[in-house]
Amino acid sequence: MTVLICGGAGYIGSHCIRIFAERGEDIVVLDNLETGHREALPAYVKFYHADIRDAKALSQVFEENQIEAVIHFCAYSLVGESVEKPLKYFDNNVGGMIAILQAMQKYGVNRMIFSSSAAVYGDPLHVPILETDETNPTNPYGESKRIMERMIDWVSKTSSLRYVSLRYFNVAGAASDGTIGEDHRHETHLIPLILQVPMGKREKLNIFGDQYPTKDGTCIRDYIHVEDLARAHWNALDYLRKDGQCMVCNLGSGLGYSVKEMITAAKNVTRFDIPVEVSQNRPGDPAKLVADIQKARNVLHWEPQHTSIEEIIETAWKWHRNHPNGYADK
Ligand code: UFG
C-alpha cells in the first residue's frame, strides 16, 4: 500500500517524505510546484506534477497506485497575502480540500493526516493553548484552515473517513544533514529573515513591535523543528492504522521564545552581529502563542527531540549557508 503526499515538494512535505521513507513506506507525491521545489524530492519518489484541484489528475494518481492514506500539505500559507487576497486562499485551500476528499471517497481511501495551523486559534485567551480552546481565526488563511478542518470532520461523520488534523505552531529549521530546507520566494518567516543578515542579503532585522505585554516586549512564539513535526505525521498515521479516532492535535515544542531571544540565539550560532530596528507591530500578530503538547505526547506517543532553539537555528543556518539561493543551488 502507498501513502499519497499532496504538497510533498514543499518545506514540510519534503521533510515528511524522508521520515516516511526511513520507516519503509511506499510514497507517491502530487505537487503543482507553485511553491514547492522539484529538487526537494528524492529520486526514488514517484511524482505527479499536478494541481490538487485537477480532478482528472487526482483520478490518475488513485487509479495508478494503491493509495492507503493521504497526507495533505497543499495550501497557500502567507497570512498577510491572505488578508489581501482572501478568495485566492479559499479557492486553493478549501477548493483543494473538496477535490481530495471527493477523490478519496470515490476510491475508498479513508485515512487523512491534515496540515492545520495554530492560526485557527486566532488571538488566544490563554497560553499554553489547548486543542479544546475556542477557534477564532483573525485572517483568511486561518479561516481557510478552520473550514478545511470542519469539512473533514463533517465528511467523517457520514463516511468511513478517519483523520488527524495537526495544528502546527512555528515550524523552523532544516534537515540535520543540511540538504533540504526552507526556500520561499517571498520570505516572511522570522528565522530565515534573521539569517539573511549574516548571509549579507539584508542589513538588519526589523522587529515588529517591542511593546507587547511579554518579558522583553517582543512577541513570543513556539518554534518546532521541521523533523520533529514530520515525525509526528508518521505517528499520526500509525495511530489511524491502529483504529485511532478522528482528532485534532497541537504540534509545537511547548516552549516560548521572544523575537529578541531568537536574535540572540542566532548571533550565538552564526557568530555574526545582527543589527535590529524596531518597527511598528505587524497587524494581527498575537503577543504570545505557545502550544500545550500533552495530547501529542499521550495520544501520538511523540516527543520533540530538537528542543534547543540554538540547535534549531543551527540546522537552518547549515541549510542557508550551503544554499544561499535555496534550491537554485542544487
Ligand atoms: N517577526 C519580526 N520581524 C520579521 C518577521 C517576523 O519581528 O521580519 C516576528 C513576528 O512579528 C512574530 C514572530 O517574529 O512575532 C514570528 O513571525 P513569523 O512570520 O515567522 O511567524 P508567525 O508566528 O507570524 O506565523 C506562523 C506561521 C503561520 C501561522 C502562524 C500561526 O508562519 O503560517 O504561525 O499563528 F499561521
Q: Nearest C-alpha to atom 19 of ligand 1 is from which residue?
A: 189
Q: Nearest C-alpha to atom 13 of ligand 1 is from which residue?
A: 190
**Ligand 1 pocket check: which of 170, 202, 206 to mutate, most ligand atoms within 8 Å of Cβ?**
170
- CB atoms inside a 10 Å sphere around CB 322: 13
Confidence (pLDDT) at 283: 85
Compute CA distances 326 → 115, 230, 321, whole Å.
23, 20, 9
Confidence (pLDDT) at 329: 80
Confidence (pLDDT) at 186: 85
Grid cell digits, residue 243: 483504529
Centre of ligand 1 from the C-alpha of residue 47, in Å: 31
Q: Which atom of ligand 1 is nearest to the CA of 207?
A: 7
- Which residues of the chain, if any, have pLDDT below 70? none
Strand extents, DSSP E, 159-262: 162-168, 170-172, 205-208, 220-221, 223-225, 247-251, 257-258
Residues contacting 315, CB < 8 A, separation 6+: 173, 174, 175, 176, 178, 181, 225, 306
Start-to-end CA distance of the chain, whole Å, equals 31
Is 300 in contact with 249 (CB distance < 8 Å)?
Answer: yes
Q: How far apart are CA 171 and CA 227, in angstroms?
A: 9
Could you say which of 11, 76, 89, 141 is catalytic? Answer: 141
Q: Nearest C-alpha to atom 14 of ligand 1 is from which residue?
A: 190
Grid cell digits, residue 100: 481530495
**Ligand 1 pocket check: which of 195, 221, 261, 313 to mutate, most ligand atoms within 8 Å of Cβ?**
221
The yes-or-no answer on residue 257 being catalytic is no
Q: Nearest C-alpha to atom 21 of ligand 1 is from which residue?
A: 189
Compute the radius of gyration of the chain from its Cα atoms: 19
Compute CA distances 1 → 4, 67, 88, 232, 293, whole Å.
10, 6, 34, 20, 31
> What phi and psi, each to the nearest 5 degrees, are found at residue 189?
-85, 145
Q: What is the DSSP code (8-state) at residue 251?
A: E
Q: Nearest C-alpha to atom 30 of ligand 1 is from which residue?
A: 119
Q: Report cis status (omega within 30 of 0) of the bond before 128.
A: yes
Q: How far apart are CA 262 and CA 100, in angstroms?
A: 38
Q: Which residues line ligand 1 (CB under 6 A)?
A: 77, 79, 117-119, 141, 170, 188-190, 193, 205-208, 219, 221, 259, 282, 285, 289
Q: pTM of the full predicted structure? A: 0.97
82 Ramachandran zone, left/alpha/beta (phi>0; psi -120 to 50): alpha
**Ligand 1 pocket check: which of 12, 76, 77, 79 to mutate, most ligand atoms within 8 Å of Cβ?**
79
Is 205 in contact with 274 (CB distance < 8 Å)?
Answer: yes
Grid cell digits, residue 181: 530546507
Among 101, 229, 235, 86, CA closest to 167: 229
Confidence (pLDDT) at 301: 98
Centre of ligand 1 from the C-alpha of residue 169, in Å: 10
Centre of ligand 1 from the C-alpha of residue 190, in Å: 6
Q: How far apart are CA 139 and CA 308, in angstroms?
A: 30
Among 26, 25, 33, 27, CA closest to 7: 33
Confidence (pLDDT) at 147: 98
Grid cell digits, residue 241: 492504522
Centre of ligand 1 from the C-alpha of residue 56, in Å: 36
Grid cell digits, residue 106: 470515490
